[in-house]
């Protein structure tokens, strides 16, 4: 790591540098930048394309091996990547009791309370998914919501095991009405097992990477295939989800974590420094941006980041993430909001005096945190809203994981008798397109 006492760990952009940075956000992203499956630190675009192709081909090969050889391939790939041998854990009554006895009560209390809050929020969201019936006189039309049958929740456990993701994915799926949920993870820590059990999950598979995604997508001798895969992962997991999409449904293609913070001069500089670091510690490719109209605040935050890095126990790649992040001083809060809309961040914090007044101007974000006291870690764990969110500007067209992720909208049409006007309109439209059988089918029902 760089010497935190002498090095500026995060760039501070002011004046022309800041304006250039903001202007660059409006440029169309390259094909590589649009892909959420890979983050490549490369000076040459060609290098990034080559790296992406290598990843794509490597994942395709892994998926092919699992499709052909099933459990045998899972075992061989685990040995190749020096991962633990794959195993299945069925959390029956005996196993669950043993788990309860192993876990400290404090851990269970934390997970219980977080699950309760996540469940309460998800239940409030799903409550609006009510069937619709429209009476059109000659016929009735409607729209129903039905959950998918079987879901796999992928829970990362690389640098950090994430029982929070087990809660966010499995509890939300259960609230949506999914009856068959399994969890796959590279490391089935007791906290992950317990978090899954709070959503009624009894089937757990210890497997990771692209091979785990292939296993739940296509099935093996020991793993039944699923209808949908949800949950974040590394570049291999994300690319595998992209490749199996169509065979199964997925939630999104989530990349490294990111935050953008819009702050005015009243914001607490120490809190801002910690908020930026809390995202940067996720991954060397994580990105943290502070957008402010106060240069004094910007300078104070930059100094505090150096201090915090020297005192907190942070990963050794923290300087890499910070070097690719930025503190940007713009002319006004309105300019900061415009920049935030172009960043379209996974997490967006409004550290301003009147966040409600600015909220209506914000368009693109995965999750919004409003007020000086709000911080992304609240949403990461226990506030209730989901932490599985779109990254890499995907918030321009996608939202975060929620009960609707697991619900299929299904329309229906009911005719109890002749619908003369509908038949004539349909036949006329079919004639317009030259589809004679369509027209004949409609006219036949005029008799």
List the catalytic residue out of 205, 239, 346, 387: 346
Q: How far apart are CA 388 and CA 250, in angstroms?
A: 12
**For 229-232, which contacts have Cβ atoms below 8 Å and span 24 or more sequence positions?**
229/151, 229/152, 229/154, 230/151, 230/152, 230/153, 230/154, 230/169, 230/173, 230/388, 230/401, 230/405, 230/406, 231/153, 231/154, 231/155, 231/156, 231/165, 231/169, 231/388, 232/154, 232/156, 232/165, 232/388
Active-site position among 347, 387, 421, 433: 347
Active site includes 414?
Answer: no
Q: What is the dihedral of CA 407, 409, 410, 416, to 10 degrees?
A: 120
Instruction: Assess contact for 388 and 231: CB atoms under 8 A.
Output: yes
User: Phi, psi at residue 327, to the nearest 5°?
Assistant: -110, 120
Q: Where are the beta strands (DSSP E) in 104-248?
A: 132-135, 140-147, 150-154, 180-185, 203-206, 228-230
Lookup result for tokens 């992209």: 242
Rg (CA), the chain: 25
Our answer to whether residue 239 is catalytic in this structure is: no
> Longest C-alpha distance within the chain, in Å?
88
Rounded Cα distance, 272 and 297, in Å? 9
Count of all residues that appear for the chain in the document: 447
Distance (Å) of CA 266 to CA 147, 289, 301, 332: 46, 18, 13, 14
Q: How many CB atoms lie within 10 A of CB 137?
A: 8
Q: Which helix (H) or strand (E) element contains residue 329?
A: strand 326-329
Q: Among all residues, which ones are annotated catalytic? A: 346-347
């Amino acid at each position: 790591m760089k010497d935190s006492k002498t090095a500026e760990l995060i760039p501070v952009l002011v004046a022309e540098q800041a304006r250039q940075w903001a202007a660059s956000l409006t440029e169309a992203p390259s094909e590589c930048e649009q892909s959420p499956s890979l983050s490549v630190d490369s000076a040459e675009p060609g290098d990034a394309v080559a790296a992406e192709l290598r990843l794509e081909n490597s994942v395709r090969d892994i998926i092919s091996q699992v499709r052909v050889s099933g459990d045998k391939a899972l075992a061989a790939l685990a040995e190749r990547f020096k991962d633990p041998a794959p195993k299945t854990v069925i959390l029956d009554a005996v196993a669950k009791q043993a788990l309860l006895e192993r876990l400290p009560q404090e851990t269970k209390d934390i997970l219980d309370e977080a699950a309760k809050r996540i469940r309460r929020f998800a239940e409030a969201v799903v409550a609006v998914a009510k069937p619709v019936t429209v009476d059109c006189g000659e016929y009735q039309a409607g729209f129903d919501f039905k959950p998918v049958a079987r879901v796999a929740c992928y829970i990362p456990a690389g640098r950090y095991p994430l029982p929070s993701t087990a809660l966010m994915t499995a509890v939300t799926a259960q609230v949506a009405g999914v009856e068959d949920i399994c969890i796959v993870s590279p490391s089935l820590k007791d906290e992950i097992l317990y978090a899954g059990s709070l959503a009624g999950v009894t089937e757990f598979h210890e497997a990771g990477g692209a091979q785990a995604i292939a296993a739940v997508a296509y099935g093996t001798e020991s793993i039944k295939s699923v209808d949908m895969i949800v949950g974040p992962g590394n570049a291999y997991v994300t690319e595998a989800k992209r490749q199996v999409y169509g065979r199964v449904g997925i939630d999104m293609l989530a990349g490294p974590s990111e935050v953008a913070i819009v702050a005015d001069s009243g914001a607490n500089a120490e809190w801002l420094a910690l908020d930026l670091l809390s995202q940067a510690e996720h991954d060397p490719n994580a990105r943290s941006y502070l957008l402010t109209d106060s240069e004094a605040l910007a300078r104070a935050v930059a100094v505090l980041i150096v201090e915090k890095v020297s005192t907190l126990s942070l990963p050794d790649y923290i300087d890499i993430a910070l070097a690719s992040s930025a503190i940007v001083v713009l002319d006004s809060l309105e300019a900061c909001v415009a920049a935030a809309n172009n960043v379209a961040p996974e997490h967006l914090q409004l550290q301003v005096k009147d966040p409600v007044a600015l909220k209506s101007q914000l368009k693109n974000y995965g999750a919004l945190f409003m007020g000086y006291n709000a911080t992304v870690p609240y949403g990461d764990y226990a506030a209730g809203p989901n932490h599985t969110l779109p990254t890499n500007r995907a918030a321009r067209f996608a939202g975060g994981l929620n009960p609707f992720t697991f619900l299929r909208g299904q329309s229906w049409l009911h005719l109890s008798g002749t619908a003369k006007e509908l038949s004539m309109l349909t036949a006329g439209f079919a004639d317009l397109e030259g589809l004679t059988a369509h027209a004949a089918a409609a006219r036949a029902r005029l008799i």
